[in-house]
């Protein structure tokens, strides 16, 4: 490819350059898949030094062939290989093959989701995908949703929506126009003490501050303790505070524990609150044989679904689903240059009105392509393998005196420790990392723990057995 070819066009030469660029890239990727290790094991100082020595914006461009060669030798070998059976620290998955192809389509067409005229088919596919996802989670046709940049944005969007709606309901004030009321510091959002930190971040951005987020204690299975939750909320309510939202976690980041949505719905109703289900992780179970474990999420006023976790789609892909679609109007604002009101009257849907983003990726295509290609049975196999592997690993180490495993997994994560103290566990993780095996580390009841997050559907019981042996060594 020469630098006279700039953008993809109908010119024969541009098409040939595009084809050559993609094929040489494919070759570079494939030639880098030369081991099953997750990571080269290079230390951070060495890697930083090497990357610091690479050209950045040279006076004269290096040309495609040189750049690709350098990417292949200097960068790709130290990329994390998400598909490796030795990679299991985070809710970070390998990508389904067809969804990588979908990314190519997304980049080639570069659609944007803000207005119909920037992505006609993209808009209609997102609308259809959201409709079907709402049905999958049991919402009626009044529901709606939007794709977001990730679970954090989905959660924060939900918190903004229900803060505004709650204040409107309580005082008639339009927060969008007039900002927060004087006694905004009385607003309270309740979530488990082990929920995701996006609620704290969101509280800061929303002008409420961390103090507005009340962390509810968990029971012996790491779920919100319902009795204590009701007492804490009642006390706050009776003290004149304004409890506005409960955020249930459907699959906590470490344990995969699942809050009881039915009971939290009852508490929310008792105190006139909204209920959000952060199912960034656990939403994948809806397509598994274990879907009952996550409860009836249609009881929640909104649901966060991450497709870049259990669903194995490339980053990023997430959606916020809302039970009453009108609630998304919180983000509606018209601009003469973008989303004219008259457009909507004529059937042109401008999705910018449902999102805090303006320019936005066509991530819905990945969901559409993978759902259609795999079907319910294909996805069920993937989810069941992941959940089944966690059950197998837990079972193995519970019978082994070298290990402690405090909680039986409901999803695909297992938190455990080697007996012998924090140091032994920390050293084990570092040692494995330098050997290309990447596992997780966290803290439970003040003790350092290790963690397996078993999202990779190619992982077998034999892989797990070998890892157990390696850790023991």
Ligand X SMILES: *Cc1c(COP(=O)(O)O)cnc(C)c1O
What is the contact surface with ligand X in residues (CB under 6 A)?
A: 91, 150-152, 155, 196, 198, 249, 251, 253, 278, 280-281, 306, 318
> What's the closest the beta carbon of residue 405 comes to ligand X, in angstroms?
20
> What's the closest the beta carbon of residue 161 comes to ligand X, in angstroms?
16
Cβ proximity to ligand X, 247 vs 464, nearer residue: 247
Upstream peptide bond of 316 is cis (omega within 30 degrees of 0): yes
Which pair of structure tokens corresponds to residue 443?
A: 């803290």
> What's the closest the beta carbon of residue 249 comes to ligand X, in angstroms?
5
Cβ proximity to ligand X, 188 vs 196, nearer residue: 196
Which CA distances in Å does 304 have to 119, 136, 166, 209?
Answer: 24, 13, 20, 22
User: How many Cβ atoms sit within 10 Å of the Cβ of residue 51?
Assistant: 12
Cβ proximity to ligand X, 249 vs 389, nearer residue: 249
The residue among 190, 186, 199, 194 whose CA lies nearest residue 228 is: 190
> What's the closest the beta carbon of residue 278 comes to ligand X, in angstroms?
5
Q: Name 312's Cβ contacts closer than 8 Å, sequence gap at least 6.
A: 93, 94, 95, 96, 99, 370, 382, 455, 457
> What's the closest the beta carbon of residue 51 comes to ligand X, in angstroms?
25
> What's the closest the beta carbon of residue 224 comes to ligand X, in angstroms?
13
* 438 SS3 class: strand
Cβ proximity to ligand X, 103 vs 428, nearer residue: 103
The length of the chain is: 473
Cβ proximity to ligand X, 155 vs 350, nearer residue: 155
> What's the closest the beta carbon of residue 444 comes to ligand X, in angstroms?
17
Contact 363, 127 (CB under 8 A): no
Cβ proximity to ligand X, 198 vs 302, nearer residue: 198
> What's the closest the beta carbon of residue 281 comes to ligand X, in angstroms?
4
Cβ proximity to ligand X, 147 vs 281, nearer residue: 281
How far is it, in rounded angstroms, from Cα 273 to Cα 244? 5
Cβ proximity to ligand X, 327 vs 413, nearer residue: 413
* 361 SS3 class: coil
Q: Which residue is nearest to ligand X (CB)?
A: 151
* 448 SS3 class: strand
Q: Render 365-429 in DSSP notation, one character per residue.
A: HHHHHHHHHHHHHHHHHHHHHHHHHHHHHHHHHHT-TTEE--S--SSSEEEEEESS-HHHHHHHH
How far is it, in rounded angstroms, from Cα 113 to Cα 151? 18
């Amino acid at each position: 490819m020469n630098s006279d070819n700039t953008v993809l066009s109908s010119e024969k030469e541009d098409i040939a350059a595009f084809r050559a660029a993609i094929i040489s890239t494919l070759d570079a990727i494939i030639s880098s898949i030369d081991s099953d290790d997750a990571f080269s094991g290079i230390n951070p100082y060495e890697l930083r030094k090497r990357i610091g020595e690479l050209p950045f914006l040279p006076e004269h461009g290096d040309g495609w062939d040189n750049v690709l060669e350098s990417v292949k030798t200097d960068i790709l070998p130290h990329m994390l290989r998400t598909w490796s059976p030795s990679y299991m620290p985070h809710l970070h998955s390998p990508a389904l093959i067809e969804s990588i192809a979908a990314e190519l389509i997304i980049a080639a067409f570069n659609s944007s989701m803000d207005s119909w005229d920037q992505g006609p088919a993209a808009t209609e596919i997102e609308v259809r995908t959201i409709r079907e996802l709402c049905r999958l989670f049991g919402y009626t046709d009044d529901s709606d949703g939007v794709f977001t940049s990730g679970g954090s944005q989905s959660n924060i969007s939900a918190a903004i929506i229900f803060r505004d709606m709650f204040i409107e309901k309580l005082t008639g004030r339009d927060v969008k126009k007039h900002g927060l009321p004087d006694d905004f510091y009385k607003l309270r959002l309740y979530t488990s003490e082990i929920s995701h930190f996006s609620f704290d971040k969101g509280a800061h951005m929303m002008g409420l501050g961390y103090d507005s987020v009340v962390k509810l204690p968990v029971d012996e299975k790491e779920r919100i303790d319902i009795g204590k939750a009701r007492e804490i909320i009642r006390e706050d309510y009776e003290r004149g505070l304004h409890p506005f939202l409960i955020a249930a976690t459907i699959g906590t980041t470490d344990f995969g524990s699942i809050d009881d949505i039915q009971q939290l719905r009852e508490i929310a109703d008792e105190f006139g609150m909204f209920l959000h289900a952060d199912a960034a992780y656990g939403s994948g179970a809806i397509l598994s044989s274990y879907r009952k474990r996550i409860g009836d999420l249609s009881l929640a006023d909104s649901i966060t679904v991450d497709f870049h976790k259990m669903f194995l789609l490339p980053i990023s892909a997430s959606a916020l689903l809302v039970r009453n679609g009108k609630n998304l109007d919180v983000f509606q604002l018209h601009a003469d240059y973008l989303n004219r009101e008259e457009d909507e009257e004529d059937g042109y849907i401008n999705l910018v009105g449902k999102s805090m983003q303006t320019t936005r990726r066509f991530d819905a295509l990945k969901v559409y392509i993978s759902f259609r290609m795999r079907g319910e049975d294909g996805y069920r196999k993937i989810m069941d393998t992941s959940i089944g592997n966690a059950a197998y690993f837990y079972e193995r180490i519970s019978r082994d005196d070298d290990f402690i495993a405090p909680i039986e997994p409901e999803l695909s994560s297992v938190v455990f420790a080697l007996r012998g103290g924090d140091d032994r566990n920390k050293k084990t993780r570092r040692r494995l990392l330098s050997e290309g095996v990447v596992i997780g580390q966290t803290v439970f009841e003040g003790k350092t723990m290790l963690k397996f997050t078993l999202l990779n559907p190619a992982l077998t019981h034999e892989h797990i057995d070998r890892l157990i042996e390696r850790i023991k060594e």
